[in-house]
Amino acid sequence: MNVQFKKGVLELCVLVLTAGRDRYGYELVASISEKFHIAEGSVYPLLRRLTQEGFFTTYLMESQEGPPRKYYHLTEQGRQYMNDLVLEWRIFNRGVNQIIGEGLGYDKA
């Protein structure tokens, strides 16, 4: 798949993935690239930016095996921002689906 769209989508995915529990970078990259192909490295600049903007706090935690992991915790401000993005996405998604449906005549079937 040729992915060339706005990172807003990636941002949304990262925020939503951390909504339930704190996650570390590799985990986030893995869950996203399982669904669509991205240049995996660019998740990290995104995480840095979201942290700088106060949407995440980070902490290091030792793991039994492997290196210590940097965990990302969604802040209250981040949660608010995520909710806004999810709402925007839903509206956008519904609009596009309607247009596709009308254009391809699914709704007449």
CA distance 91 to 32: 22
Residues from 9 through 38 that contact another protein (CB under 8 A): 9-11, 24-26, 29, 33, 36-38
Q: Does 2 bind another protein (CB under 8 A)?
A: yes
CA distance 56 to 49: 9
Nearby residues of 68 by Cβ (< 8 Å), 6 or more positions away? 60, 61, 62
Which is it for the CA torsion 29, 37, 77, 52, positive or negative?
Answer: positive
Q: Does 50 bind another protein (CB under 8 A)?
A: no
Q: Does 54 bind another protein (CB under 8 A)?
A: no
Q: Does 66 bind another protein (CB under 8 A)?
A: yes
Considering only residues 67, 76, 103, 107, which one is a binding residue for another protein as defined by CB under 8 A?
67
Q: Which residues bind another protein (CB under 8 A)?
A: 1-11, 24-26, 29, 33, 36-42, 44-45, 47-49, 52, 65-70
